[in-house]
Amino acid sequence: MSSVPYGGNAAAGSTPLTQGHKRVVFASSLGTVFEWYDFYLYGSLAAIIAKQFFTALNPTSGFIFALLAFAAGFAVRPFGALVFGRLGDLIGRKYTFLVTIVIMGVSTFLVGLLPSYASIGIAAPIILITLRLLQGLALGGEYGGAATYVAEHAPQGKRGLYTSFIQTTATLGLFLSLLVILGCRTWLGTEAFEAWGWRIPFLVSFLLLAISVWIRLQLNESPLFQQMKAEGKGSKAPITESFFSKNGKIALLALLGATAGQAVVWYCGQFYALFFLTQTLKIDAVTANLLMAVSLLVATPFFIVFGWLSDRIGRKPIIMAGCLIAALTYFPIFKALTHYGNPALESATANSPVVVAADPAQCAFQFVPGELKSHVTFRSSCDITKGFLAGKNIPYTNEAAPAGTVASVKIGSQTIPAFDGAGLTADQFKEQNTAFTTALGGAVKAAGYPDKADPAQINKPMLFILLTILVIYVTMVYGPIAAWLVELFPTRIRYTSMSLPYHIGNGWFGGFLPTTAFALVALTGNIYQGLWYPIVVAVMTLIVGVIFLPETKDVDITADK
């Protein structure tokens, strides 16, 4: 189609890219890689950060709270999109870039200097979350500007190809973070790295900040933006025009029918898959990070492939196909990860399933701070039992028992009764809890449930193939998305209009995926239950996108509409 009702108006972008423009596109992409590196360091080190800043919580809750702090950066990304998107549409793309990267770099550097909970108490996680919020605000203003900037330099018919280079930056930033972490861990050893060496990747960001600022200073303003301003066609109220006019409907459809599904496929295929390997399958962090890093390296060129392909067959069919394939195959792929990553866990689950028989009214959600366990509500036999199993990442199913029944655990043919901790003194509770957890721990060990994955049984080639497939799904939905979003909105409000749906989709739908998925696992005991979240969102995007969003590959963003 040659146009859509809400197409763009801008200056000539149909001329071929000069060598200078290619340099600008490269510089923009490289700076964005560094910014994503800063942002994703936290996610790559979530398990270690949980031990440093959330030690007041039990291990399961501590990890989930660490993921919540990770998600806090995503929660504010839409607000960053509004603030910096408006600035980008009012004063230009270049200077907005510069501000966002300085905020990101300084915030990341300060995480590396932040004392742990053991040193300064509750102030540590509070400051950590504050720094994550600043990172999220900065990133909220970054992506829309980078994608808009590159698209407005690209010639007609090649926007998918050229913006796909921006799409590689998030994955390359994650790859760079994993590479630096692996290097530091190997150099220092696991013990030293987890004690203090984890700070080094954050401190390195100061050097990357200096390089990034230098790169951004070399950029010229977008020619489309310059001509628009020269002709007096700029928006005086980008937020109002973007979301309180006919463009508001398009922004909502872009969120539900494009970015939400793209986001959950991205975060499931990269972050959740990594967490699944380390937390659920108990594969050592070095092996898991190395497998993920190699998969990212191999699959990253497919961002370019699908971006190029979208210039020929369209953005919409590729992204919708990615959502559909992911939704249909996540369960078998993650079950295969278990089969090849920790076959002992798979075998024990099949041969000696763990079943918790308890009164449902006595069972609380296993997502509570450790210090609250002293409250009578969290001393029921059900909570004691599930708390132990969740802490060991042992899969289980639930069986409803009559009201008032003391919980019990069936492991294969063996049944182990729990105890009711309500009304017991601290010493009595400790004595009975020790006896119960010792018996239960011995039973699950005898049934073959491993404390960690056996390195000799890990099928690394198959894990690499499966992880690569998951990342290729990511490239399908993410490679063409920037071009699609750019083409949906006019130049005068493009930065603001595309940034908000992108960052709500990726910041909220995607950023909260690991937390939501692991919370679902903790709630049910089923290690695959968390997959329902990305599947449902991907299917929603498929339906909305197919029905309501147009194809835009032939839209001329330089023409007045």
Show the 3-state SS of 402-427.
CCCCCCEEEECCEEEECCCCCCCCHH
**Residue 381 and residue 362: Cα distance in Å, rounded?**
8
Lowest mean pLDDT among 211-220, 349-358, 504-513: 211-220
CA distances from 288 to 78, 156, 178, 449 (A): 31, 41, 10, 20
Judgement on whether residues 228 and 317 belong to the same structural domain of the protein: yes
**Encoded amino acid at 427, one letter:** D
CB contact at 8 A, 558 and 10: yes
Q: Specify if 7 maps to a domain.
A: no
- Of 446, 469, 486, which one is at a domain's C-terminal end? 446
pLDDT for residue 560 is more than 50:
no
Between residues 487 and 178, the one the model is more confident about: 487
Give the length of the chain.
561
Q: Specify if 317 maps to a domain.
A: yes
User: Domain with 434 in it: what CATH number?
Assistant: 3.40.30
Lowest mean pLDDT among 135-149, 353-367, 404-418, 485-499: 135-149
Number of domains the chain contains:
2
Averaged pLDDT for residues 193-214:
88
Between residues 450 and 79, the one the model is more confident about: 450
Portion of the chain with pLDDT greater than 90, in percent: 39
- The model's pLDDT over 99-118, given as tens digits with 9 standing for 90+, comes to 888 888 888 899 899 998 88
Going by C-alpha positions, the residue among 147, 153, 222, 81 that lies closest to residue 482 is 147
pLDDT of residue 305: 97
pLDDT of residue 122: 82
**What is the reported pTM?**
0.83
171 alpha-carbon distance from chain centroid: 11
Q: Specify if 532 maps to a domain.
A: yes
| Domain encompassing residue 361 | 351-446
Averaged pLDDT for residues 182-206:
90
Q: Specify if 273 maps to a domain.
A: yes
- The model's pLDDT over 232-256, given as tens digits with 9 standing for 90+, comes to 656 566 777 767 777 888 989 999 9
Averaged pLDDT for residues 206-228:
73
pLDDT of residue 56: 62
- Cα torsion 257, 259, 265, 267: sign: negative
- Of 412, 446, 480, which one is at a domain's C-terminal end? 446
pLDDT for residue 10 is more than 50:
no
Q: Specify if 35 maps to a domain.
A: yes
Q: Specify if 11 maps to a domain.
A: no
Tokens 């060991």 correspond to 392
Judgement on whether residues 323 and 355 belong to the same structural domain of the protein: no
**Residue 188 and residue 198: Cα distance in Å, rounded?**
10
Judgement on whether residues 311 and 390 belong to the same structural domain of the protein: no
CB contact at 8 A, 496 and 85: yes
pLDDT of residue 372: 35
How many CB atoms within 10 Å of residue 123? 12
Q: pLDDT band at residue 396, thresholds of 50, 70 and 90?
A: very high
- Of 428, 446, 464, which one is at a domain's C-terminal end? 446
DSSP-assigned states of every residue in 92-148: -HHHHHHHHHHHHHHHHHHHHH---HHHHTTHHHHHHHHHHHHHHHHHHHHHHHHHH
110 alpha-carbon distance from chain centroid: 22
Average pLDDT over the chain reads 83
Judgement on whether residues 373 and 515 belong to the same structural domain of the protein: no
Averaged pLDDT for residues 491-507:
83
User: Domain with 323 in it: what CATH number?
Assistant: 1.20.1250.20
